[in-house]
Structure 1
Amino acid sequence: MVTTNWNRRHILSLADFTAAEYDTVLQTAASFREVLGRRTKKVPALQGQVVANLFFEPSTRTRNSFELAAKRLSADTLNFAPGTSSLTKGETILDTAKTYLAMGTDMMVIRHREAGVPLAIASEMDRLNTQVAILNAGDGQHEHPSQGLLDLFTICRVFDPENPRLDLLRGKKIAVVGDILHSRVARSNIWSLTATEMELHLAGPPTLLPKWFAGLGSDRPGKLFLHWSLDEALADADFVMTLRLQKERMTNYLLPSLREYHQLYGMTTERLKLCRPDVKILHPGPVNRGVEISSELMDNPDRSLISQQVTNGIAVRMALLYLIGVGKGG
């Protein structure tokens, strides 16, 4: 196990992560990835601790990944369902969190449709002088730190599965294509993928990729570029990440049709010829097949890293729970 000191109690954003913190997560996740390959996929690292998954918004991959990660670390888990909770009777979100605190919860994993809710709960836990750690599992259009970290882990493992680290990505190019505007995944990936000297190219329709995105990461080691046509973004790319069209968050008519979107921005085997010969494809899921990416490309084992992202997500979330659960902010 990595022995680097960890001084962060809450994981709310990747905007202020240091290079050392990224490498600590990557190397800790690599050790847990090895555990997941064993016959007995469980370690006693968090035995006796309680992890509460408070998901105020629907989720399949993230919620189950965090639950399985906690169980692999031998922690006890509590799962929150808003439809059958006291929220329906008028209880506030902070009071819900305090209820879980009173039950002896050590870590809370929070997902909410509104940005800032995990931060508000973390601030309340700190005000009460508790040792409870808060992990942001996605808040509105703000961030999704664990997804950004598992994407980074997946990319780094392409070059060195045993010792993934940031410096492996120097000089590489990745294109992130799709609904950048509404994507918390895109925002977390902007911070993680510009933490080292690589090129990050964002591509999408002008309505889903405003010009102000160019100002994000301007003081980072990596370089950020914006494109409203796809060919230049894909040219000689080492990786392509496609993003889901988040129709549930679109309040205006931002696209003519899904068919036209696929024709202009959908990833296909033919379009992939613009990239490097060994290009790899990622998608955070869930996938709209035939819209963001063709089924043929998604299921191509020589190109697609999508299934690996899901598996790696468990190892990365084990690493995050371990670091904040054992370290307790130093």
Structure 2
Amino acid sequence: MNIPPRQLAPNQRSQVWIHDVVSGQNTLILDTKDLLLEAPNWTLHGDALILNGAGTLWRVPIDRPTLQPIAIGAVPPVNNDHVLDPDGTHIFLSAFDDWHLYRAPVTGGTAVRITGKDGPEGLMHFLHGVSPDGMQLAFVGVRAEKSAGALTFISAEIYTVGADGTGYRQVTSAGSPADGPEYSPDGQWLYFNTEAFSGHAQIARMRPDGSELTRMIVSQTVDWFPHISPDGRTVVYLAYPPGTAGHPPDLWVDLMIVLDGRWARPVRAVRLFGGQGTINVNSWSPDSCRFAYVAYPVDIETAPHDR
């Protein structure tokens, strides 16, 4: 199933921003009309962001924000589901075309395919979480059919697998779409979004074995991709307008903050034009004070933070 990477629409831009949760300030660090960038990860030492665009990875240094391509061999085009290995020197990747997971040096080099050694046939792998010890991966296992050049999704469930590609485990089985599984910093929980409660995506958590499923928030918005800060005190997630199906691009969306477990009182941190690609993976800085995100304004009327 060869699906090309996303591209910018006419007159559209990719803007990479950093939000400071202490001051509330948003800082634009990169603005380009040449490349659709997605899904920032913050490096272990806090000196750069790693994003994907045009099927490859890009490094953006924080002190001098420029686009530096990361050459990775033996891997199909990468998509926007990539997470840094806790060792700080490798990155786990999800690929287009073969829909498998890979591990590669974060500075570039040859990738090694992880999945496909065992596990279900025909499963598409979309990575979102790595356990704190780097030994387990949490991903969305999707089954789909391709017709007339488009994918029709049949199911999306949460799975875990060893970082060596062994020990597949299907964690959810409700039949309701689930996505974005991410380990808590202590490794005791998987936070994710699911339609199991109300028919639209809401934030939940469960143990890595699927037990103790708990809905974290009740809202009318369509809530995706919970990301926990390294100190475990703050969560950011993406809120789509009510009635949104899936996690599409190019809508007005909010990035919501939950402080110290106060799920009943989330606070809007940023309003922006974006959605898909904005914050698909964890983009917290190592000091838990900032997170990165991408906006996709089309013209001056859709510049971030204007509404």
* Fold match (TM-score > 0.5): no
Give TM-score, length-normalised by structure 1.
0.26
Choose between structure 1 and 2: higher strand proportion.
2
Choose between structure 1 and 2: higher helix proportion.
1
Give TM-score, length-normalised by structure 2.
0.28
Question: Which has the larger Rg?
Answer: 1
